[in-house]
Amino acid sequence: MSSSTKTVAGPRKTGAGPAGAGPAGGAGGPGARGGSPLTPLVIDLGVPLALYYGLRCGFGVSSLWALAAGAAVGAVRGGIGLVRHRRLEPLPLLVLISSVVGMVLSLVSGSEQFMIAKDSFGSGVIGLVTFWSAFTTRPMMTEGLRPFFTKGDPGRLAAWDRIADRPAFRRVERRTTLVWGTALTAECAARVILAFVLPVSTMVWLSTVLLVGAIILAVVVGAVVAGPLQTMLDEETATAA
């Protein structure tokens, strides 16, 4: 799973432009280039799955090397993303490094289970950083919530900036970030445990189900938790009108 986020530490900049929605959003968001925001997710999840079954069933390749082929796709895409944006951001770089190191260790050890488990490192890193950011001055979900609620409207953008430092606003913002951090961290833990309990052939597809399920859960629960922001923003917009 590729990821590109702003650095979570540092001063709060509420006047920044819209960025990728959520901790897993691409830099600038895929929509900024006219593509579907689901395209990266489909590639990152679908291509490795297709490669595994294609190589295993069509060419008789071992599970370990079939898994490695899928992992290589993710690593290459992560590297291309860093080069394309011409900047090294700590979080996506850490995710890429953990993925490459995990793949190398899996090949050296010959462990199919570890190859499956290492796929969760990306979401685990993002989940932990997201969770930690909830206790900083700039929770990671800030950049995802702002464009979602303001929809690019100048009046709502100005209203967002005015209420962004209010305690009630910050509490909701922090809780929403905790939802995402908890969901992704829990997904990582579940995948690591199940990788050493269930057969590899089961975990190949179940890993995708767990990740997609965690994202859907975070979206649904996060939307409910972030609901009060809509009310605050509507009231502030109406007051300024």
The answer to whether 146 and 204 have CB atoms below 8 angstroms apart is no
Q: Looking at the structure, do residues 190 and 77 belong to the same domain, yes or no?
A: no
Q: Is residue 17 part of a domain?
A: no
Tokens 């919530």, residue located: 145
pLDDT at residue number 18? 32
Q: Looking at the structure, do residues 241 and 124 belong to the same domain, yes or no?
A: yes
Provide the number of structural domains found in the chain.
2
pLDDT at residue number 37? 53
pLDDT at residue number 176? 96
Q: Looking at the structure, do residues 131 and 188 belong to the same domain, yes or no?
A: yes
Q: Work out the burial of residue 85: count CB atoms within 10 Å of its CB; fewer than 13 is exposed, 13-18 middle, 19 or more buried.
A: middle
Q: What amino acid occupies position 182? A: T
Q: Is residue 46 part of a domain?
A: yes
DSSP the chain: -------SSS---TTPPP--SSTTPPTT-GGGGTS-TTHHHHHHHHHHHHHHHIIIIIH---HHHHHHHHHHHHHHHHHHHHHHHTS--HHHHHHHHHHHHHHHHHHHHT-HHHHHHHTTHHHHHHHHHHHHHTTSSS-TTHHHHHHHHHTT-HHHHHHHHHHTTSHHHHHHHHHHHHHHHHHHHHHHHHHHHHHTTS-HHHHHHHHHHHHHHHHHHHHHHHHHHTHHHHHHHHHHHHHH-
Q: Is residue 231 part of a domain?
A: yes
Cα 10 vs. chain centroid, distance in angstroms? 21
pLDDT at residue number 26? 38
- For residue 113, what are the CA distances in angstroms to 52, 122, 157, 234? 14, 16, 47, 50
Q: Looking at the structure, do residues 95 and 173 belong to the same domain, yes or no?
A: no
Gyration radius of the chain's alpha carbons: 19
pTM of the model: 0.71
Q: Is residue 241 part of a domain?
A: yes
How confident is the prediction along the chain (241 residues), in pLDDT tens digits per residue?
Answer: 444 333 333 334 443 333 334 554 433 333 334 445 556 666 777 777 787 778 878 877 787 787 777 777 777 777 777 778 776 666 677 677 777 777 787 777 788 888 888 878 888 988 999 999 999 988 988 888 999 899 989 999 999 999 999 999 999 999 999 999 999 999 999 999 999 999 988 998 999 899 999 999 999 999 999 999 999 999 999 988 7
Q: Is residue 60 part of a domain?
A: yes
pLDDT at residue number 9? 38
pLDDT at residue number 90? 64
Q: Looking at the structure, do residues 128 and 194 belong to the same domain, yes or no?
A: yes
Q: Looking at the structure, do residues 195 and 164 belong to the same domain, yes or no?
A: yes
Chosen domain end from 109, 133, 152: 109
Q: Looking at the structure, do residues 233 and 186 belong to the same domain, yes or no?
A: yes
Chosen domain end from 82, 109, 136: 109
Q: Looking at the structure, do residues 35 and 86 belong to the same domain, yes or no?
A: yes
Q: What amino acid occupies position 179? A: V
The answer to whether 1 and 22 have CB atoms below 8 angstroms apart is no
Q: Looking at the structure, do residues 105 and 124 belong to the same domain, yes or no?
A: no
pLDDT at residue number 175? 96
Q: Is residue 7 part of a domain?
A: no
Q: Looking at the structure, do residues 214 and 140 belong to the same domain, yes or no?
A: yes
* Residue 85 belongs to domain spanning: 26-109
Chosen domain end from 81, 109, 137: 109
